[in-house]
Structure 1
């Protein structure tokens, strides 16, 4: 297939059953092939944070650096090519409506302009390598509360839908044109997104002129005729549930026509044509990509995502003459590259903060001592770094039986702590029923009693040196992204000693009807030394007291931020806050590093002089953090979302009354905050956040002057220019942010809205003139009554600043005549 004529010719050769076959997946990650007509199977890979991952999207958003994001997109394209993947199921541009959203780490921002602009760079980078991007989830898929994303309807005003939730998709389609778009699980104003003719036909196709491919979210198809006629080309995953024979029956009953089917088939064939032109093999090997250049890019991306929140005593960057550094905290030793769910990753390698700090201190002779201090996991950390084969190969031997002959597989993997989603080992079987044995040499790294945990589908028992430690019985709770963990205690283990670890599994009576996907079984083994947290907090404080500086790494992980569950509150888990307070009191020269994809409360913030927000930094998160700590990289990240004031807690958030179980009312969740999401809501209510949107400090100091604008054209185009100077002795990069205010509007509008930004690199003493181009997007709001965008005549404020609350320059421009439009 190389042209429209070729596609038409292929279409005419397809029988009706073959056409219907093309409209649903073959399995979890592939489309159906028609070999006799040279129609191959497309390969899809999940990947908001990589082709099974590089870093979290929220971290890319905090960089405010479109060039960096494009480079990461290019690297993801190369990674996809290595995996013979034709379409990456990313980026995610769902709006950060609440800090509790379980999948918040997958998206870029609470602000639609930043969200859409960063997504465009990501898509352009990825697709430059011949790999299709899938922008998702269309639309208003911003919470995981129980079954709300499937059963309940989000009641969203037309204006909020257009200005907040659809806007990132609109910008990305305008500036990057992704190959594919994924529909959301949820209903929008009463209609499932995958069945919404308004969203897909009226807005996406007719108004925006989109001509790409529409794919369902996995099991996100709930009808046969409605979904197909709305515009969903491919039902995933396979085998089909709502299409296949059901679609053939609907055709026979004339509930739809062959031309309706052919529209969808044509789009499938177009996507296959694009994939063929890319040169990526079909059914090719799933390789990996690991080069020094890629590692350096990931390290830069990790560092540039870090936001310096406080540096009151100029503790950072750290000096090179410390004799002893204490590294404390539950996120220090175990690398947490990203959150959980379908965005979870099994990276080829990771670098933890502790590893990177130890490496950075080797050449200075500084002693680095570690202590966990407190626990923060919901599930016990995975034991991947502690298990080996007799030949010292990392990993476990998995043997399983469905029928004779016996089949054995060896699985090996690098250091990681994957969530129970998808499993540490997914059984490579095409059957649902099996018996198996998972075995390895287990080598703990600490003396003491170890708590061991099991997550499996079915019935399993874990043995260490032939002694039963924990048994997982059939009937333990199972949900979309993992079974509940069952734990037991292995007594008096010795660090460095090898123990025989064995898990015996049977899922012969496991019923998969409660799961959305046809899982073939999984097993996850977790383990950690059992500790007395009162004692460990005291010990951590004692270590802090005897050290010159403390690096305290705390936060969330993929247990707490994951698909399938929203957070219940903003508090850090377990005894984390107690640990932070005790360490700060023991040694005020403490750098607190919080790692999370969404805001957390910080009741210790007044006591802390130095605070970093690290997000999830991917494979190189540790090295990126160390580069910022020791001054090899000057931090330049800015917060892509608002951190609420901890004293008022969760109730400060604009979405609080209508998010999760609070928002339920007769199967509806009301988006009562309307357009006032994130910083827009804080400002309209005159609430001061803990840290505002766009905030982030530097080791440099910058000044602004000479703000000028051109006249606004009749179609809303104009330019803004100003000077930025580095008035320090430290080379640095500054994210300049331009906001628009419209106090004369006939409709309520936010106090200000981000409409442009760029990152400026400045050497000491250097001044640069920054020029930003703006258009009608910067001046407009959506008029629900007339169903169009409108830019009203009048005076607009141009505000240039370093955050949403720190404005350095202001000027006004005038639009002389009102005008309206629809479309992109």
Structure 2
């Protein structure tokens, strides 16, 4: 371990300054002279990618954040965190950049899927348990994004305005809970401003609240390119600027500010002290500097991913007990929908990764059907399209070695050059290629100009017209059997391709192909210096190319309706994808795009036994909800998404998920509707503390599906509520009995409502919860212990402290926010104020 104080004496000023920013995208700066090693970090909202966007080692992908919170299972979330820690060690990663516990303020938020909930307590407990699990493996967790990073619109500069009460009770509360319960070793600041000041250089947030009030001793780092000053950020205690090399903490300029007494030497030393503490924590893992990244193919990991996915799925509706289906019953089932044969494993942006394996809903369902013998006859059709752009065709092509995928050959020279010099050759699994971190020993470290051919053969399954296309950051042309089909090189139009819209629009062409004939597909690509548009980005660039059979929405719809007419049951897998929910942009509405709603409406007219499985990280509108018998919310399900859906559909897992978010009837009903997004660079959180269910209950507004709601294939009974108030805590005990004939899990949700209050407060607020698994006829007594100050307190804006008023408080126990089953009271005998954790 490093002797921090001794090192601070030995380090030169220049070396100290160099430690205060990253070395590159994923590493801190080492000081070999003093044996200070580099620490490696990795994105990790729903899996540990490692240090490569391009051609990285495939990872295990977890259910998205809102799905994980929908398990309401603290023990399971801790196990998931432990697996994340193991994934990190397999990739030589010391620190996972996650979890994300920003609030799901609006269903429109592009990164809502990464976070956990609209409720700060559920979000805080979920984050705390994930962190606890990660750090049990000696891996460092980085809690993010501190604070109010709740939208993507103008996210690096938006100025957020809100009351101190809303800030404390809602937006800071999950961070407070996570730091109190799990002590994350690192914390990442947000991009946005609050009250005119960037959080990443705010003494109020990084010193007064985080350090002084909460006593936090960990290391703070910026979000990537989220540092905006030299002096202000260092004075505030932003310890680490990421990524490197630095944009602000250049040695010459920073040293000049120290020598001229603009920045005190103690400020430099204190920030360095926190960096060295970060390095020391990383050393505990025992990861060497020359780690070889590897896949984690442990069957136990797959089983845990499946369990998390199983428990995340929420049964929203099940009229006439249509579910579960009997795989041994003679019947016909139609499987359709744009997500049936897709793998919506995660949302987009920094959550994206190369996933080790993916199970489509179709494959999961078919595997389950085969387990029951030959009793079920199935038929498939897509029914409606979802892709904003042409789909990834990596799994539809065969590479040069005869395997599934694409062969990528990189060259020094343009395609027209004879005897091109080869740089590297890879076989890839995707046709969506972003070269942000492509490196080769045959390229100079800063060399941006090079070329690549991406090749694969394709054999169509039916004769007809196919649409080919590509978008790029750079230049690209698509060839079929050496014939130019798509030109995104000699003419280009700026579009929204790539992260934050850096590239061109997708150029398209139609081609007639014959079933069974082999076609050679080649995409010739030049990096960003060859581009005609978007030349300001100093990135290597990339290309997204794809194709699909041409059909009209009406044709697909008609085909689906005809199949639905002649089958006993229809499983429709619908929802969104990472093209519609992603870091970098917010959603314009909560509608499912395209013809999906029309598909459901028309299928329901000809078949009464329709099962909807929706995949999204945030609420979607369901105008057809009253017309179908069964609805499942399945989120973005990671590797095991298809297996988990099949487990629930056929009853091998009894659904126990509860919604982590309210599903409104309309986006206009959401409390943030009038105040979401940036207006002239500002956003006002006008709903105050009335976020999510707190607003809907206060205004008595109907919703589609309430917060905390979820059905089961069995029934539960709550009884014998006992509330015992002690000096500092309240013990709430309740008996839960499974009165049905299937094993199942139930969530006990504890809400509090003051009988009288000095200020307006929500009708009730979630304060704690537990989950119990019961066999048929089994009963268990569950005790939930919570501190009195957490149960009773609100933020007193006059005293600028938490306030607990003496008096009576209702204890409300239910299995969703709108289904309170038992009620009791406790009384406090003194009022008090407090600060801290």
TM-score (norm 1): 0.95
Structure 2 stretches lacking a partner, 5+ long: 50-60, 414-418
Task: Check 1:349–1:515 CA distance in 2 against 1; reply closer, same or farther (3 A cut).
Answer: farther
- Tell me how far apart the structure 2 counterparts of residues 61 and 94 of structure 1 sit (CA, whole Å): 13
**2:342 aligned with 1:334:** yes
CA shift, 1:291, in A, is 1.6
Q: Which residue of 2 aligns with 1:17?
A: 14
Write the mapping of 1:439-588 to structure 2, written as runs, cut at 5 A.
439-473=455-489, 474=492, 476-477=494-495, 480-482=499-501, 483-495=503-515, 497-507=517-527, 509=529, 519-588=539-608
Write the mapping of 1:136-535 to structure 2, written as runs, cut at 5 A.
136-145=144-153, 147=154, 149-244=155-250, 245-320=252-327, 321-363=329-371, 364-365=373-374, 366-402=376-412, 406-414=421-429, 422=434, 430=445, 431-473=447-489, 474=492, 476-477=494-495, 480-482=499-501, 483-495=503-515, 497-507=517-527, 509=529, 519-535=539-555
CA shift, 1:517, in A, is 8.1
Give CA-to-partner distance per residue, 1:225-249, whole Å, 9 cap, x none.
Answer: 1111111111111111111133223
Q: Is the 8 A contact 1:307 1:639 kept in 2?
A: yes
Task: Check 1:494–1:339 CA distance in 2 against 1; reply closer, same or farther (3 A cut).
Answer: farther
- Tell me how far apart the structure 2 counterparts of residues 212 and 425 of structure 1 sit (CA, whole Å): 29
CA shift, 1:445, in A, is 4.8
Give CA-to-partner distance per residue, 1:621-677, whole Å, 9 cap, x none.
Answer: 0000000000000000000010002xxx2111011110025xx2x532110000000
- Tell me how far apart the structure 2 counterparts of residues 207 and 769 of structure 1 sit (CA, whole Å): 37
**2:100 aligned with 1:85:** no
Q: Which residue of 1 aligns with 2:25?
A: 28
Task: Check 1:425–1:593 CA distance in 2 against 1; reply closer, same or farther (3 A cut).
Answer: farther
Q: Is the 8 A contact 1:427 1:521 kept in 2?
A: no
**2:672 aligned with 1:655:** yes
Helix, strand or coil at the partner of 1:606: helix
Q: Is the 8 A contact 1:411 1:425 kept in 2?
A: no
Q: Is the 8 A contact 2:159 2:195 kept in 1?
A: yes
Q: Which residue of 2 aligns with 1:114?
A: 122
Higher mean displacement: 246-255 or 612-621:
246-255
Query: For 2:754, which of 713, 737, 742 is the aligned residue?
Result: 742
**2:645 aligned with 1:625:** yes
CA shift, 1:512, in A, is 12
CA shift, 1:426, in A, is 5.1
Write the mapping of 1:631-642 to structure 2, written as runs, cut at 5 A.
631-642=651-662
Task: Check 1:265–1:394 CA distance in 2 against 1; reply closer, same or farther (3 A cut).
Answer: farther
CA shift, 1:21, in A, is 1.2
Helix, strand or coil at the partner of 2:725: coil
- Tell me how far apart the structure 2 counterparts of residues 405 and 206 of structure 1 sit (CA, whole Å): 61
Write the mapping of 1:692-711 to structure 2, written as runs, cut at 5 A.
692-711=706-725
Task: Check 1:476–1:205 CA distance in 2 against 1; reply closer, same or farther (3 A cut).
Answer: same
- Tell me how far apart the structure 2 counterparts of residues 702 and 592 of structure 1 sit (CA, whole Å): 25
Q: Which residue of 2 aligns with 1:37?
A: 34
Helix, strand or coil at the partner of 1:461: strand
Q: Is the 8 A contact 2:504 2:533 kept in 1?
A: no
Higher mean displacement: 278-287 or 786-795:
278-287
Q: Is the 8 A contact 2:494 2:533 kept in 1?
A: no
CA shift, 1:605, in A, is 0.7
Q: Is the 8 A contact 2:647 2:653 kept in 1?
A: yes
Q: Which residue of 2 aligns with 1:685?
A: 699
Q: Is the 8 A contact 1:395 1:411 kept in 2?
A: no
Q: Is the 8 A contact 2:436 2:541 kept in 1?
A: no
**2:794 aligned with 1:781:** yes
CA shift, 1:463, in A, is 1.1
Task: Check 1:250–1:394 CA distance in 2 against 1; reply closer, same or farther (3 A cut).
Answer: farther
CA shift, 1:538, in A, is 1.0
Helix, strand or coil at the partner of 1:704: strand
Q: Is the 8 A contact 2:408 2:427 kept in 1?
A: no
Helix, strand or coil at the partner of 1:710: strand
- Tell me how far apart the structure 1 counterparts of residues 156 and 77 of structure 2 sit (CA, whole Å): 32
CA shift, 1:213, in A, is 0.8
Task: Check 1:94–1:447 CA distance in 2 against 1; reply closer, same or farther (3 A cut).
Answer: farther
Q: Is the 8 A contact 2:528 2:541 kept in 1?
A: no
Q: Which residue of 2 aligns with 1:761?
A: 773
Higher mean displacement: 187-196 or 432-441:
432-441
Task: Check 1:580–1:239 CA distance in 2 against 1; reply closer, same or farther (3 A cut).
Answer: same
Give CA-to-partner distance per residue, 1:250-283, whole Å, 9 cap, x none.
Answer: 2233210222111111111111111112112224
Give CA-to-partner distance per residue, 1:108-139, whole Å, 9 cap, x none.
Answer: 11100000001111001111111110100000
Helix, strand or coil at the partner of 1:677: coil
Give CA-to-partner distance per residue, 1:141-161, whole Å, 9 cap, x none.
Answer: 01011x2x1222010111100
- Tell me how far apart the structure 2 counterparts of residues 185 and 401 of structure 1 sit (CA, whole Å): 38
Q: Which residue of 2 aligns with 1:795?
A: 808
Q: Over the residues paired in the alignment, what is the CA RMSD in angstroms?
A: 2.1
**2:691 aligned with 1:674:** no
Task: Check 1:266–1:496 CA distance in 2 against 1; reply closer, same or farther (3 A cut).
Answer: farther
Q: Is the 8 A contact 1:195 1:227 kept in 2?
A: yes
Task: Check 1:197–1:499 CA distance in 2 against 1; reply closer, same or farther (3 A cut).
Answer: same
Q: Which residue of 2 aligns with 1:610?
A: 630
Give CA-to-partner distance per residue, 1:569-600, whole Å, 9 cap, x none.
Answer: 01111111000111111211010111100001
**2:149 aligned with 1:129:** no
Task: Check 1:157–1:513 CA distance in 2 against 1; reply closer, same or farther (3 A cut).
Answer: farther
Q: Is the 8 A contact 1:426 1:522 kept in 2?
A: no
Q: Which residue of 2 aligns with 1:816?
A: 829
Q: Is the 8 A contact 2:495 2:506 kept in 1?
A: no
**2:741 aligned with 1:729:** yes
Q: Is the 8 A contact 2:466 2:513 kept in 1?
A: yes
CA shift, 1:458, in A, is 1.1
Q: Is the 8 A contact 1:219 1:237 kept in 2?
A: yes
Q: Is the 8 A contact 2:200 2:226 kept in 1?
A: yes
Structure 1 stretches lacking a partner, 5+ long: none
Task: Check 1:335–1:156 CA distance in 2 against 1; reply closer, same or farther (3 A cut).
Answer: same
Q: Is the 8 A contact 1:183 1:193 kept in 2?
A: yes
Task: Check 1:195–1:445 CA distance in 2 against 1; reply closer, same or farther (3 A cut).
Answer: farther
Q: Is the 8 A contact 2:73 2:771 kept in 1?
A: yes
**2:63 aligned with 1:55:** yes
- Tell me how far apart the structure 2 counterparts of residues 11 and 444 of structure 1 sit (CA, whole Å): 65
Q: Is the 8 A contact 1:480 1:516 kept in 2?
A: no
CA shift, 1:424, in A, is 10
Task: Check 1:100–1:580 CA distance in 2 against 1; reply closer, same or farther (3 A cut).
Answer: same
